[in-house]
Amino acid sequence: MRYQLKFVLGTLFAASFLAACGGGDGSSPPSSLSTPATGGDTPPPAPATKPYTNLETREEAARFLMQAGFGGTDAQIDALVGTDAADWIVNEMRKPATLTLPQMQARYGTSQDTDQNHSRMMWQTLLTADDQLRQRMTFALSQIFVISTNSFSDRGFMTAHYADILSDQAFGNYRSILEEVTYSPAMSRYLTYYRNRKGDERSGRMPDENYAREVLQLFSIGLTELELDGTPKAGELETYDNEDIIGLARVFTGLSGEGSSFKSRDHVEDWSIQRLKMFDEEHSELEKTFLGVTIPENTKGDESIQIALDTIANHPNVAPFISRQLIQRFTASSPSPDYVRRVAEVFEAGRYRAPNGQDFGVGDRGNLQAVIAAILLDESVHDDIQNTNEGKVREPVLKFVHYTRAFGAKDIDVWEEWRLNNTSDPNERLGQHPLRSASVFNFYRPGFIAPGSETGEAQLSAPEFQIVNEGASLGFTNFLTHYIMRPADDPDRYPGFQPDFTTEINLADDAATLVDHLNVKLTAGQLSEATKAEIVDVVSTLIVDGDDAEEERRKRVQTAILMIVTSAAYAVQN
């Protein structure tokens, strides 16, 4: 297994804490699906040789936890050594979903006026929930089926409900997610088809086209026809034109909240957390033609939507378009065409057999159990071949959650952490906040190539570089400094969010041993020898002696952690 830094870095991380210190760095599933199982009553024969997905060292275990979840504690890393990664995925998929809305309801009752408190509850889930793989998948899906609470900050319950749709469907089927998203109050409000009325020839009124356009461009097929490996077909043929949008816009008319009528003000109290209702009197009765399909005139609203979603979900672009973006969110910012093709083939088949014989999926096209297993267990993720297009730039949310989880932070209560109310500011915070992107195009575009960088010169896509730059790196450092360097003996000021540095403090007398330990825990062994030496030199200047020895040990630990989490090795997941 390799742990050298393979992803070609530019100069975007030069301004970091290391520079300030004189250092640097060279470097339970949905009921509609079966639980992942071996299939039938007879298990498949054991592989003749040990599968390449077997995690033999602490470095390999730590690396896999960063790819598949949010990293791990020492105990979680140790527990994985000697096991197969496929078995960990099975266990994660069997865990019940940690949902946001029930937590919101328990805290606020039935009030809809919760402002941005749902954002804090989502942080609570990301930082503490046991179902790591599901929550990582939920976060990934939220960056494909994008809504942003910047558009409705006073609808906390509605947004929590939307997050739970993604969580419920995380190991379900792509077509099912597409339908649940379409009928969700949050998406209808965000992309303006809530109470979208049919056209009126006399007044010139036309149905709103917003969702029709974005569901094609961003949520399903993209702008150009693709090969199965995600590369554009010869001639870069367009997938749809404006006539397709006009036809599809007619489909998404007539939807409103639960109530007695389309424009009713007597909605049930919790309409914003219920599936939208079709009012056929406001649904376009006209013929609807798009993507080579025609829905006859006078077809009812819900039937029209089912036909439209079936048409979209079965488009040949969906498998490579969605597969590539999911790979980017887990393992590779610029996945090779071969990697995309392998995962897209699994998307089409709806089934994947791991190297150890474990089966995922039940054969339904778009089965996400099979897709995510194929992504995390792919040969390119576990082999010893080093390619420049392997590796993922770790976005700020993932880095912060990893740090918090790695040290088993106790008594986390995000309501005591005002900094988490909005972490979007790149100058003082993370520059990223779940479900709070600037637009429907997410925090970054999946095909973004950073200009003026080594990745750009190599024509490697690096979406995360749209929000991770020198200024944002300094903001990230300032943000993490607050959480890493806070004292342990000030419970009134810091009632929760206290990391457990016990193991590290016990190693702090020997700076080299401490740094070696943290190198595995935080970067899966990716720090260069030069960087480790620089960190050891800085840490060694903090003398451990006298009555303040325990506090000096803690400062050594905090300094080493801060230097590592602001290094290039921590910024890139390999």
Q: 307 with 272, same domain? A: yes
* pLDDT at res. 574: 84
Distance between CA atoms of 533 and 218, rounded to whole angstroms? 45
Name the amino acid, one letter, at 68.
Answer: A
Alpha helices in 143-300 (DSSP H): 156-168, 174-182, 185-190, 210-217, 242-251
Look-up: residue for tokens 């150890």? 356
SS3 232: strand
Q: Residue 147: phi, psi to the nearest 5?
A: -125, 160
- Band (pLDDT 50/70/90 cuts) for residue 3 is very low
- Structure-token pair, residue 227: 């090969």
More reliable by pLDDT, 405 or 24: 405
Q: 335 with 302, same domain? A: no
Treating both helix axes as pointing N-terminal to C-terminal, what angle do 301-313 and 174-182 enclose, rounded to 10 degrees? Answer: 140
SS3 455: helix
Q: 417 with 485, same domain? A: yes
- Structure-token pair, residue 465: 């570089």
* pLDDT at res. 383: 82
Q: 193 with 294, same domain? A: yes
Is residue 349, in this structure, part of any structural domain at all?
yes
* Closest to 126 (Cα-Cα) out of 149, 108, 100, 103: 100
* pLDDT at res. 150: 86
- Band (pLDDT 50/70/90 cuts) for residue 354 is very high
Q: 402 with 539, same domain? A: yes
pLDDT over 70 at 1, yes or no: no
Q: 402 with 490, same domain? A: yes
pLDDT over 50 at 174, yes or no: yes
Is residue 126, in this structure, part of any structural domain at all?
no
Look-up: residue for tokens 């006026």? 113
Distance between CA atoms of 159 and 269, rounded to whole angstroms? 16
Greatest mean pLDDT among 151-155, 370-374, 567-571: 370-374
Q: 302 with 405, same domain? A: no
Distance between CA atoms of 230 and 323, rounded to whole angstroms? 9
* pLDDT at res. 269: 64
Question: What is the average pLDDT value for the chain, to the nearest integer?
Answer: 88
pLDDT over 80 at 548, yes or no: yes
Q: 427 with 537, same domain? A: yes
Q: 309, exposed or middle or buried, with CB in 10 Å at 0-12, 13-18, 19+?
A: buried
Is residue 532, in this structure, part of any structural domain at all?
yes
Q: 214 with 333, same domain? A: no
Is residue 253, in this structure, part of any structural domain at all?
yes
- Structure-token pair, residue 105: 């309801």
More reliable by pLDDT, 226 or 104: 226
pTM value > 0.85: yes
Measured CA distances, 414 to 76, 163, 179, 475 (Å): 24, 18, 32, 20
Residue-wise over 179-205: b if at least 16 C-beta within 10 A, else e? bbbbbbbbbbbbbebbbbbbbeeeeee
Q: How many domains does the chain have?
A: 3
* pLDDT at res. 149: 87
Q: 292 with 268, same domain? A: yes
pLDDT digits (tens, 9 = 90+) for 22-75: 333 444 443 334 444 444 445 555 555 679 999 999 999 999 999 999 999 999
SS3 114: coil
Q: 283 with 403, same domain? A: no
pLDDT over 80 at 485, yes or no: yes
Residues 356 and 348: beta-carbon distance below 8 Å: no
Q: 403 with 376, same domain? A: no
Mean pLDDT confidence for 225-240: 96
Treating both helix axes as pointing N-terminal to C-terminal, what angle do 368-376 and 318-330 enclose, rounded to 10 degrees? Answer: 50
The angle subtended at Cα 63 by Cα 417 and Cα 169, nearest 5°, is: 65
Range of the domain at 403: 17-24+54-83+396-431+469-573
More reliable by pLDDT, 253 or 474: 253
* pLDDT at res. 22: 34
Mean pLDDT confidence for 1-22: 36
Mean pLDDT confidence for 398-409: 95
Distance between CA atoms of 126 and 434, rounded to whole angstroms? 10
* pLDDT at res. 413: 84
